[in-house]
Amino acid sequence: MKKYGSFFRIRFINGLQYRMAALSGIATQFIWGIMEVLLFRAFYQASPDSFPMTFQALSSYIWLQQAFLALYLIWFWESQLFDSITNGDVAYELCRPIRLYNMWFVRGMAVRLSKATLRSFPVLFFAWLLPSPYGLTLPDNWYTWFFTLLAMTLAFLLVVAFGMIVYMSVFYTISSQGVKLLASSVSEFLGGAVIPLPFLPDKIREVVNLLPFASAQNVPFRIFGGDLVGKEMYQSLLMQCFWLTVFLLIGRAMEQRALKRVVIQGG
C-alpha cells in the first residue's frame, strides 16, 4: 500500500506546482459559472414551471460542476501517459514490481485531486457568497451531505476507471486522437456536463440514465441540490457501483491482454 501512497504523493506534489494554470482555471470557472447561471435565469424567467429542477438546485449544480471540474471532466487527459505508450517509455514502468493498472489508476486520482484542491475552494467560497438563488445553497441535513460525498467518491473513481480504459486502448491503436475525441464528446453530453440530465426529453433521459456516464457528476450534484432523493437516489448509487465495477474489470482485462502482446519498438 505504501508504494501507492508515495506514488500518489509525488504526483500530487507535482500537480500543485502549476500555479498559473490553477489561477487561470479558477478565473475561467468563475466566469463560465456566472454566464451559465445568467443564461438559465433568462429561461426560468420566461416560464419557471416548465423546468424539471428548481432554479436553486440548478445553480448549486452549476457551481459544483465548475468547482470540481478537475474531478469529473472526462477530457482532462494526461498526455504523458498517451506519449509513454506511443513512444515506448512505458518500458520503464513495466520494469517496476508493481501493476501498471494500479500505478496509473493512483496516478490518475492524484492528478485530478491535486488540480481540484487548488481550484475548488475559491470557486465554492465565491458561489457560497452569492445571493440565493444564484449561489450555492448548502443542504440543511447530514443525510444529504453524507450521500453527496459518497456519490462524489464513486463518481470520481468511475471517471478515473473510464480514463484507464481509454489509456489502455492506446496499446491497441497507434494514435489516441480518435478515441480521445469520441470519449470526450460522448461522455460530456451523456454525463450532464453540457446540460443537466433532467433537462433531456423523457424518453431519451430514461435511456441515458442507464448509461455509465449518468453515474458520474450527475448523481452527487443532484443529491446535493435536493433534486435526487429517496428511492431514485439509492438506485443511482447502485448504478454507480455497478458501472464502476464494470469499468474496473474491462480496464484490467485490457491491460492484461495488452501486456501479453506489447511490443516496444525501436532502441
Asked, as a colleague might, if the bond just before 122 is cis with ω within 30 of 0, I would say no
91/241 with CB nearer other proteins: 91
74/100 with CB nearer other proteins: 100
194/264 with CB nearer other proteins: 264
27, 35, 38, 94: which one contacts other proteins (CB under 8 A)? 94
CB of 87 to other proteins, least distance (A): 8
Task: Determine, following the binding rule CB under 8 A, whether residue 19 of this chain makes contact with other proteins.
Answer: no
20, 46, 95, 129: which one contacts other proteins (CB under 8 A)? 95
249/264 with CB nearer other proteins: 264
In Å, the largest CA–CA distance within the chain is 66
Residues 227-266 that bind other proteins (CB under 8 A): 260-264, 266
28, 35, 92, 182: which one contacts other proteins (CB under 8 A)? 92
Count of C-beta atoms within a 10 Å radius of residue 35: 11
Please name the residue ranges forming H helices in the chain.
2-16, 19-46, 55-67, 69-72, 79-87, 90-94, 100-129, 142-169, 177-190, 202-210, 218-224, 230-260
Which string of DSSP letters, residue by residue, matches 42-94?
HHHHH-GGG-SS-HHHHHHHHHHHHHTHHHH-TT---HHHHHHHHHSTHHHHH
CB of 14 to other proteins, least distance (A): 6
17, 45, 47, 50: which one contacts other proteins (CB under 8 A)? 17
Site string for other proteins, 52-81 (x = CB under 8 A): ----------------------------x-
Residues 96-155 that bind other proteins (CB under 8 A): 96-99
The closest alpha carbon to 119, from 41, 189, 190, 18, belongs to 18
Q: Print burial letters for 87-109: b (CB count within 10 Å at least 16), e (below 16).
A: eeebeeeeeeeeebbeebbbbbb
The closest alpha carbon to 91, from 265, 267, 264, belongs to 264
93/188 with CB nearer other proteins: 93
The footprint of other proteins (CB under 8 A) covers: 2-3, 5-7, 10, 13-14, 17, 80, 88-89, 91-92, 94-99, 260-264, 266-267
